Amino acid sequence: MASLNTQSRKLARKQQIRPLAGSLLALAIGLGVATAHADDALPKLSTKTPLKVGFAQTESNNPWRLAETKSFKDIAAKCGWQVVMTDANGSNSKQVSDIQSMIAQHVDLLVFPPREEKPLAPIVLQAKKAGIPVILVDRDVDQSVAKAGRDYITFIGSDFIDQGHRAADWLVKATNGKAKIIELEGTTGASAANDRKKGFDEVIAKNPGMTIIASQSGDFARDKGRQVMETLLQAHPDVTAVYAHNDEMALGAIAAIKAAGKQPGKDIQIVTIDGTKGGLDAIAAGELGASVQSSPFFGPLACDVAQRFAKGEKIPTWVKVSDRFYDKSNVQQSMQYGY
């Protein structure tokens, strides 16, 4: 489902500018000018076993997070990892302090999904300073603070902008290009929410019959999604479609729509992202229109990347995960992929 050979457009652009950046750095060093990131070398990773690996989870409030954590538990023995796990319970500051304590314990490798792009970027630099290599999974950090390939090994994850494009393309077709849409956003400040919004909004902006009438965060949580949808339904009774940034919020929205006496999938078309078991069941029941898969199974990929990196292989700055797509045409034969 993912390839280390997959080169992102970002990487291609980066490689194009690398010779220029390299000569500027050489010139700066030659002139004795201090540069902010003169030491671009990543910390080395030991090939010893067991390797002490810190996995700092953001929260455990939905099936996606549980599947992600499980994929690390499942790979640990096979990969020769002794994993230290923490759960930040939905708090950026707890995730930062969890990682700080892993740095203090001298783990050999840090792997984590940064809850939000900006608050979790400086800790990547702290880990680098402490000589601990980092792999980011699922979500990325602010590249103006910490850069993949320079400050951490790589980002392993989906193309969230593309997920937004795919969700919007489906909705345009399902509504014949005419809809009044409520958008339920994920955690504010998370790369998953920022990019899923960007991708979806880009496609909608090109379709004059499609309007986003309200857009609000439901924090990627089912009950918050239900509450936000309840309020927005009262303010916008003319809504004909919902785009939720994850399945859990879509399932919350379905409950709110039913409670308001409307039929999800008929009166209101719904499209979402994740491909959880609950999402696939809702598609089979005709209540959810489609879900773009967002794979949470990063354990084996992180193991592979770590082993290659330890052997000295060059790792691309983005190990892109490719995702499936589910709607009524393939949901029955896709149930095995739900989690």
| Contacts with ligand AHR, residue ranges (CB under 6 A) | 62, 64-65, 138-139, 192, 220, 246, 248, 273-274, 294
Residue 132 vs 293, nearer CB to ligand AHR: 293
Q: CB of 138: closest distance to ligand AHR in angstroms?
A: 5
Q: CB of 81: closest distance to ligand AHR in angstroms?
A: 22
The answer for residues whose C-beta is within 8 angstroms of residue 71's C-beta and 6 or more apart is 296, 297, 298, 299, 300
Q: CB of 246: closest distance to ligand AHR in angstroms?
A: 4
Q: Do residues 270 and 253 make contact, with C-beta atoms less than 8 angstroms apart? A: yes
Residue 65 vs 320, nearer CB to ligand AHR: 65
What radius of gyration, in Å, describes the C-alpha atoms of the chain?
21
Rounded (10°) angle between helices 247-259 and 277-284: 40
Residue 108 vs 138, nearer CB to ligand AHR: 138
User: Is residue 274 classed as helix, strand or coil in its secondary structure?
Assistant: strand
Q: CB of 260: closest distance to ligand AHR in angstroms?
A: 24
Residue 274 vs 287, nearer CB to ligand AHR: 274
The answer for residues whose C-beta is within 8 angstroms of residue 202's C-beta and 6 or more apart is 161, 164, 165, 168
Q: Do residues 107 and 77 make contact, with C-beta atoms less than 8 angstroms apart? A: no
Q: CB of 88: closest distance to ligand AHR in angstroms?
A: 12
Residue 220 vs 243, nearer CB to ligand AHR: 220
